[in-house]
Structure 1
Amino acid sequence: MNIRNFCIIAHIDHGKSTLADRMLQFTGAVTDREAREQTLDDMDLERERGITIKASAVSVKHVHNGDDFLLNFIDTPGHVDFHYEVSRALLACEGAILVVDASQGVEAQTVANAYMAIEADLEIIPVINKIDLPSARPEEIALEMEQTLGIPADDCIFTSAKTGQGIGELLAAICDRLPGPKGKTEAKTQALIFDSEYDDYRGVITYFRMMNGKLQVGDRIRMMGTGRVFPIVDIGKFTPKMTSYKQPIEAGEVGYMVANIKTLDDVNIGDTITRDTDPAPEPLPGYREPQQMVFCDFYPSGDTKFDELRDAIDRLHLNDASFTYQPTSSEALGFGFRCGFLGMLHMDIIQERLEREGNVGIVQTAPTVTYEVVKTGAASQNSERVMQITNPSDLPDPSQIAEVREPIVDIEIITPNDCIGDLMRLCETRRGQYVSQTYLSDSRQILKYELPLAEIIFDFYDKLKSITRGYGTMDYNIKGFRKDSLVKMDILINGTPVDALSVIVHKDKADLRGRSLLKRLKEEIDRHMFEIPLQAAIGGKIIARESIKAMRKNVTAKCYGGDVSRKRKLLEKQKKGKERMKRIGTVDIPQEAFMAVLDPGDS
């Protein structure tokens, strides 16, 4: 049987999942009665938000010119925060379907995904989707793809995933244009683990792509990374549901296996599976480690215990290897985990999945980025001269710091012409450096800037969408670290520093940021029975202050006339009580207060 392995890549909301739905219906893998929107998006969160979060693999059979074909394809996410999912999918395929909206045209992630596919040496089939829309411009968009990406306009296939138009032509192009897998069934077994999940009854379910050899139920396999050996008790394919197979899964095919794996650490994404009795001489290259750039702390809240949160994070990490975690502690919040993410949306999705799938309560601190600190003195003579920190509270004493470097990103914005001026002003307020400006078409341009990552992780994308009325898109990649005048700003609540609210800011923006942050905290923290002073400090210098007034009972209400000394005596007694409360009282800080540090203070 002829095998074709490919993935569907595109910018967010260009119709990848709908196109996958129509392909499943056209090939008969899903009947019209079973069909539903986003068939491959099996998480409630994906359906609610209308986005793909996890790449989904499926195997379907198709007949073309009298020949039988097995099509293994992967529907991938489109948001920039999930580019690691896309990169993993590309390494498991020989071809890619590049989808572009016929009304929107080439977007930022279209360009980024196309370059990733070219770098992986994949055959690309360009598809212009949504040609049924009244505003569709398929011929113009095809020329735009040729100008921007160098893909011949004549190679584009015009489709409408909504109506099914062009799906047959696309499937024919997949069979004719894409190359088959290069692996050999007779070679020693090598299978690449590209995903996995945990089932309470079956243990770890491993998703794999057979590169060489074959596997079937009863084989004893070895994980080449860990050296652990397991017997296969079930093996099968996604059609699109998990379907057990009695026949071997051979080179070039994609499937899943259950092998009595109960320990989460025994399975690593990117590891190689081989036969225990006849192992391969060396493992497959695997995947490049993802670079987490946004960090925040998760602490248990409510009835959730630390061990319950740890178990939930362990299970989720098995299904999403692109975030990291390590134990941490805070005087204000107790024991928790310091987690690293690829971006803000990724962080938001992980938090929601933990609460839903892990059934745990979480307090989340404000996200930060990675900084490089160059030390002075004796430390400069050894290898620890440059250290990386992800938490502002880990910043050394200022006397030990020679310089602080922050991560810089190359950001590429595709925008309508009439929004250029406002976007430039936005980038300038975020300490951006202009790089270039390129005309994409008569109505759109590509604007390139260098920006500090810390300035874009919170609301930059929202402001971009607002300025461009929803038509602007962006993509960014980490360029490196650059020295700047950065200082640590501590937040003191009732005279006590709260490390979870500390933030690293630019020296020129510290006063403005401090005042803005304290005003937000004043709104978020409830009034107590005593006055709460809020202070922002750099080192020993207080740069801003606000106060939350105490709740007071009218103790003089029962005094009707008479000597004023009686009222004064009652007020003095109340004042002493408030002072005592202030010394021994604790301040309850709500979740919203920890997110207040995200306010950039430029609006």
Structure 2
Amino acid sequence: MKLTRNFCIIAHIDHGKSTLADRLIQACGGITQREFHDQMLDSMDIERERGITIKSNTVTLSYAAKDGQTYQLNLIDTPGHVDFSHEVRRSLMAAEGALMVVDASQGVEAQTVANLYLALEYDLELLPVINKIDLPAADVERVREEIDADLGLDPFIAIPVSAKTGQGIEDVLEGIVSHLPPPQGDPDAPLKALIFDAFFDKYRGVILQCRIVDGTLKPKDTIHFMHADRDFGVDELGYNQFKLVPKKQLTAGEVGYIVAGVKSVQDIEIGDTITLADRPTATPIPGYQPARQVVFSSVYPMSTDEYQDLTKALEKLAINDAALTYEKDSSAALGFGFRCGFLGLLHLDVIQERLQREFDIGLVISAPSVKYKLQLKDGSTIDIDNPSNWPDPSTIDAASEPYIRAQILTPEEYVGPVMELCRDHRSESQTMNYLSAGRVEVVSEMPLGEVLFDFYGKLKMITRGYGSFDYVPIEYRKTDIVKVDILVNREPVDALAYLVHREKSRARALHYCEQLAEEIPRHQFKIPIQGAIGGTVIARSTIQAVRKDVTAKCYGGDISRKKKLLEKQKKGKAKMKQFGSVTIPQKAFISVLRAEKK
């Protein structure tokens, strides 16, 4: 155990975690040069293309240190985006130490601070690493000051590296061995192991990534999941070294994989504690938290023929992604689909792109919403995330929506626009902390629903890309939420209905009406498009009728003849409007949701 180090790499998004992991793998000879490619631990195409990590991954490396000993390093690469912080949390539970990567040009950012608090929560030893020192804008001394002032870590042990060029990688490996502690545990105690991740193999079922805390695990043992309350038999176990390397046993302090005939990720809970069925441990590992879905959206196939394909595609994605939830949904305009729960907007975006790319399915996605709590006049309480389930407003006594505590780090000159942006998004309280020269932290409490659409994009725009944003859910608070129906030719279109705060309802309704008026083709009769709360119309656009000039054949003559022809046309249009139906093209639904919200 003294020669083992379990550590993860944590940082703000795009600070070079995956590149640093690549260099550590190469320095330890974890893979041959012929098999090497960039972002070794990012297995999905979408991760490599966007340069983001979505799923944490692990690898076991051997390192011959300068003290003459050979150490076993268990490296866990984690995501940096706020949506996947539950992945980071589970990775931290499996490690004793962490490399805290800070960009030499950007400095300490919001997610860096958030990950620091997470690491301290699990009592991890932190080793700061200043990455990207090869950039022209790199300022290592300024970043050392920020590490001291903002993170409270020792700036003199921070190791300057360039993961791109490989400079300083040997120092990082020596730092891991000398600064990070070895695991503690008793190999003879009852088995206690943490399942911190899992992925699906179509031939072998779910392959569990686990960290053994106490005890020893061997093939043919029967394991018991303490939260899920299920038993499975172990078929194989071993180390992850880009391919699965079987071993005769996993003992306390080690990180490895288990194949136990689990058919789906839904059968178990990631973050669960496993123990032996015949010799169980007394208590599970503390700190377990289930993933919380905060954004809900309906997904429909572009063509109704693809409904079965969409069903199979969601099943396959959910096998690998336990955080994705879905249930059947239907719409009069779009047919059958699914109501899905996501961890955040990036998670929604990734799932949408994977459905389109991996399964070749055209999708229509409804406006994302959050979960509201309603107190009805009969004393009962219900949770609503779908506008189609919104009860009669006369039965609602009070409504509550989820609030978050947003933490925004920005250069000093952009504080004014950032605070104005927060106020525009119904921020209730704002406090400012001056962290270091020229850097300010703005802490604001605001509704989660306000952050869903364009907040992050606007923040990046007004801070010229230097602002960073992180949030934690805090509580539900009373609010004035209304359901806005969109009526096309006086018929409500259920797929376009949305829930919004009353003061924002007119601006959003006007935007919907204008977008639909541009996308719906003209018919033989006038089409009114209205946004309405109950029976009150709050916004309207009109699509003018395609009109034939019936008076063209009248040259000269009495005016009453022209009037008679126009009157006849008017009656025909009125009759057509009464019986005519409006077809809404699929691109109209997409334009409403994709276009810039006003």
* TM-score (normalizing by structure 1): 0.91
- Quick one: structure 1 residues 267 and 552, their matched pair in 2 at CA, closer, same or farther if it must change by over 3 Å? farther
Q: Which residue of 1 aligns with 2:178?
A: 176
Range with greater deviation from structure 2 (108-117 or 186-195) = 186-195
- Unaligned runs of 5+ residues in structure 1 are none
CA deviations over 1:539-562 (Å, ceiling 9, x no partner): 1111111122344567788x5869
Which of 570, 580, 583 is the equivalent residue of 2:579? Answer: 583
Q: Which residue of 1 aligns with 2:592?
A: 596
CA deviations over 1:83-118 (Å, ceiling 9, x no partner): 111111111111111100011101010100001100
- Quick one: structure 1 residues 72 and 551, their matched pair in 2 at CA, closer, same or farther if it must change by over 3 Å? farther
Offset of 1:280 from its aligned partner? Answer: 4.1
* Whole-Å separation in 2 of the counterparts to 1:530 and 1:257: 66
Range with greater deviation from structure 2 (142-151 or 578-587) = 578-587
Offset of 1:584 from its aligned partner? Answer: 4.9
Which of 107, 130, 133 is the equivalent residue of 2:132? Answer: 130
AA paired with 1:188?
Answer: P
* Whole-Å separation in 2 of the counterparts to 1:344 and 1:166: 36
- Quick one: structure 1 residues 61 and 454, their matched pair in 2 at CA, closer, same or farther if it must change by over 3 Å? same
AA paired with 2:586?
Answer: P
- Quick one: structure 1 residues 567 and 427, their matched pair in 2 at CA, closer, same or farther if it must change by over 3 Å? same
Residue 168 of structure 1: SS of its match in structure 2?
helix
Computed over aligned residues only, the root mean square deviation of the Cα atoms, in angstroms, reads 2.7
Which of 512, 516, 541 is the equivalent residue of 1:517? Answer: 512
Once the two structures are superposed, the pairs formed by residues 290-329 of structure 1 within 5 Å of their partners are 290-302=291-303, 305-329=306-330
Q: Which residue of 2 aligns with 1:12?
A: 13
Q: Which residue of 2 aligns with 1:118?
A: 120
Contact 2:554 / 2:562 at 8 angstroms: preserved in 1? no
Offset of 1:121 from its aligned partner? Answer: 0.9
Q: Which residue of 2 aligns with 1:189?
A: 191
Tell me how many residue pairs correspond in the alignment.
Answer: 594
Give % identity: 48
Q: Which residue of 2 aligns with 1:406?
A: 401
CA deviations over 1:41-64 (Å, ceiling 9, x no partner): 111101111111111111111122
CA deviations over 1:237-283 (Å, ceiling 9, x no partner): 221x1223142222222222333333554333223334445444554
Once the two structures are superposed, the pairs formed by residues 399-548 of structure 1 within 5 Å of their partners are 399-528=394-523, 530-548=525-543
Residue 260 of structure 1: SS of its match in structure 2?
strand
Contact 2:194 / 2:211 at 8 angstroms: preserved in 1? yes
- Quick one: structure 1 residues 526 and 344, their matched pair in 2 at CA, closer, same or farther if it must change by over 3 Å? farther
* Whole-Å separation in 1 of the counterparts to 2:302 and 2:326: 18
Range with greater deviation from structure 2 (32-41 or 276-285) = 276-285
- Quick one: structure 1 residues 192 and 525, their matched pair in 2 at CA, closer, same or farther if it must change by over 3 Å? farther
Q: Which residue of 2 aligns with 1:338?
A: 339
Q: Which residue of 2 aligns with 1:58?
A: 59
Residue 42 of structure 1: SS of its match in structure 2?
coil
CA deviations over 1:534-589 (Å, ceiling 9, x no partner): 111111111111122344567788x5869896996699469637844763524224
* Whole-Å separation in 1 of the counterparts to 2:422 and 2:590: 26
* Whole-Å separation in 2 of the counterparts to 1:196 and 1:151: 33
Once the two structures are superposed, the pairs formed by residues 38-77 of structure 1 within 5 Å of their partners are 38-64=39-65, 65-77=67-79
Range with greater deviation from structure 2 (171-180 or 258-267) = 258-267
Contact 1:516 / 1:599 at 8 angstroms: preserved in 2? no
AA paired with 2:129?
Answer: V
* Whole-Å separation in 1 of the counterparts to 2:591 and 2:180: 48
* Whole-Å separation in 1 of the counterparts to 2:266 and 2:480: 42
- Unaligned runs of 5+ residues in structure 2 are none
Offset of 1:437 from its aligned partner? Answer: 1.5
Residue 322 of structure 1: SS of its match in structure 2?
coil
AA paired with 1:116?
Answer: L
* Whole-Å separation in 2 of the counterparts to 1:30 and 1:232: 28
Contact 1:525 / 1:593 at 8 angstroms: preserved in 2? no
Residue 262 of structure 2: SS of its match in structure 1?
coil
* Whole-Å separation in 1 of the counterparts to 2:346 and 2:83: 6
CA deviations over 1:381-430 (Å, ceiling 9, x no partner): xxx2x332112332222222222222222212111222122222222222
Range with greater deviation from structure 2 (279-288 or 54-63) = 279-288
- Quick one: structure 1 residues 223 and 202, their matched pair in 2 at CA, closer, same or farther if it must change by over 3 Å? same
Q: Which residue of 1 aligns with 2:365?
A: 364
CA deviations over 1:490-528 (Å, ceiling 9, x no partner): 111222212222222332333333222211222233444
Offset of 1:305 from its aligned partner? Answer: 4.4
Q: Which residue of 2 aligns with 1:387?
A: 382
- Quick one: structure 1 residues 454 and 136, their matched pair in 2 at CA, closer, same or farther if it must change by over 3 Å? same
- Quick one: structure 1 residues 42 and 578, their matched pair in 2 at CA, closer, same or farther if it must change by over 3 Å? farther
- Quick one: structure 1 residues 70 and 120, their matched pair in 2 at CA, closer, same or farther if it must change by over 3 Å? same
- Quick one: structure 1 residues 485 and 116, their matched pair in 2 at CA, closer, same or farther if it must change by over 3 Å? same
* Whole-Å separation in 1 of the counterparts to 2:334 and 2:20: 46
Contact 1:197 / 1:315 at 8 angstroms: preserved in 2? no
* Whole-Å separation in 1 of the counterparts to 2:578 and 2:38: 57
Which of 93, 105, 108 is the equivalent residue of 2:107? Answer: 105
* TM-score (normalizing by structure 2): 0.91
Q: Which residue of 2 aligns with 1:28?
A: 29
Contact 1:329 / 1:335 at 8 angstroms: preserved in 2? yes
Q: Which residue of 2 aligns with 1:93?
A: 95
* Whole-Å separation in 2 of the counterparts to 1:446 and 1:510: 31
